[in-house]
Homo-oligomer: A and B are copies of this chain.
């Protein structure tokens, strides 16, 4: 079984810790390992490092190689340009030797969090079993904890039955439909019904099968990938011509026979500084801290120091993030607005801080 980790993203939601040259997946937010390192480590022993492929880009490649010394260097792929996940996955698959691509491949985000690694591997192994035995495209679905409007939802169908009518796949379910980013009322209904799961962005399939689906739904991508396969030396020229589209829209929303295995292991996409409060234990005053921090008469703050020290005196419900060159101070409730800071720095051409 192969793992394909998508590590080319460049989010701004963890600024100032995340930067152009050090996006979220390369950061150690919860423990001493980066989210990318955690992602690889979590797969072992189900998927050893020699079966791991990483799709990233030239800007991040050396940092990725440094963080993942056990992943074979030729399996760290650099896409010539960001064209969203459908081209990235398709191109990564055709970059594998066909013997590997014909195996089951798990596509994984590089910047999510899973508290219970063993439970995660158990779920992933079950999804791989179905993908292998039934040649199905599988997802892992997370029981929703609030009516999030930023995620995709999987509507659960019947329990999955094997094509031979004999093999049993307990816990695997058909996906009746795939709904990207509902409005808040709809999201509330989904959560209440108990019949929907969050799409955690993990897909498990035989590589050749996914390529077939991708070629079917997005013929332009299919033809482009064939052209690159015929002339790999022209990838820098051909790849940027592929339509920029996510795998969710390109395939998952359109494919009739997706199935899922519910995942219950402390998943979080760590979408903002505030999200870290879900995964870092508070002290007796509700302060959550990483690094060298000191809270005096202070409550319910998130204090983060990747070097140096942060001291909070008499403050409440703040996020204070210190990196080598920058400090950000904001109310926890403003975590989603970090983008405003990044936009301002762009406008002021402070490339040193981006």
- Cβ of A309: which chain B residues have Cβ within 8 Å of it? 325-327, 353
CB distance A330 to B308 under 8 Å? Answer: no
CB distance A320 to B313 under 8 Å? Answer: no
CB distance B315 to A330 under 8 Å? Answer: yes
CB distance A330 to B318 under 8 Å? Answer: no
Q: Mark A173-206, 1 if CB is under 8 A from B, else 0.
A: 0000000000000000000000000000000000
Is the contact region of chain A dominated by helix, strand, or loop, or is it mixed?
A: strand
CB distance B326 to A311 under 8 Å? Answer: yes
Given A16-B311, A311-B341, A315-B331, 13 further pairs, Cβ under 8 A: A294-B344, A297-B337, A297-B340, A308-B324, A309-B327, A311-B328, A311-B329, A312-B329, A313-B328, A313-B338, A314-B337, A315-B330, A320-B327
Query: Closest CB-CB distance, A15 to chain B, in whole Å?
Result: 9
Residue of A315, A324, A329, A338 ringed by the most chain B CB atoms within 10 A: A329
Tell me the bound Cα distance from A327 to B331 in angstroms.
16
A322 at the interface (CB under 8 A from B): yes
A310 at the interface (CB under 8 A from B): yes
Given contacts A296-B344, A318-B315, contact A310 B327 (CB under 8 A): yes
Q: Mark A318-353, 1 if CB is under 8 A from B, else 0.
A: 101010111111110110011011001100000001
Given contacts A320-B329, A330-B314, contact A341 B296 (CB under 8 A): yes
Number of interface residues of A (CB under 8 A): 33
Query: Closest CB-CB distance, A111 to chain B, in whole Å?
Result: 22
Q: Which residue of B lies closest to A337 (CB)?
A: B313
- Cβ of A331: which chain B residues have Cβ within 8 Å of it? 314-315
CB distance A329 to B329 under 8 Å? Answer: yes
Tell me the bound Cα distance from A310 to B321 in angstroms.
10
- Cβ of A313: which chain B residues have Cβ within 8 Å of it? 328-330, 334, 337-338, 340-341
Question: Within the complex, which residue of B305, B314, B329, B353 is in contact with A315, where a contact is CB–CB below 8 Å?
Answer: B329
